Amino acid sequence: MKTKRNPEQVEADRRSLLVQTFVHATKKMFEEQASTKSTMRAATTRGPLAPESAIAGYIELNSGELLGRFVIYLPKHSFLTLFKNMFEVEQNEITDDMKDGAAEFVNIIYGLAKTELNIRGFRFEPAFPKVAMNDEIPKMSRSRPAVVVPFDSVAGPFHIEIEFNSEN
């Protein structure tokens, strides 16, 4: 006889799967698309934003009952190196034209994660990434729970955040 799990545990398991899948998709995207291996450091709950983040790509998450946001924060050097590795274009500064590169990072990560999560019962729909630079970087509500996953790579450090709406 199966033991019925309480709704809080079911939701915690779904969130854990969501985070693990986005971590895997992030590592896979940078390794396969930008020839850059990355190593995940210990995940934490939200702390202060990395002060050196120069660009952030983000996408709203909506799987019916699970709402939130996925964000990747990149310092200038990390972004320029990853951009060069992926697009074979070397730049010294981040320009408005390069925002599409950050959006493409997010789009690929989301696509990889969405495919895997939908196989596992989620219902993520296509979504459009957005990009913010410097002062435009979204300061997400501090009242929402979030998981922060820092990464190290030869391109430099970066981190992702998965934010959950408090209703989830």
pTM: 0.90
Pairing assessment for the beta strands 158-164 and 146-153 based on DSSP bridges: antiparallel
N- to C-terminal Cα distance for the chain? Answer: 29
Neighbour tally for 144: CB within 10 Å: 16
> Where would I find the H helices in the chain?
7-33, 76-87, 99-119
What's the pLDDT at 23? 97
pLDDT tens-digit readout, 133-166:
887 775 545 567 789 999 999 999 999 999 888 5
What CATH number does domain 7-164 carry, 3.40.1550.10, 3.40.50.150, 2.40.50.180, 3.30.70.260? 3.40.1550.10
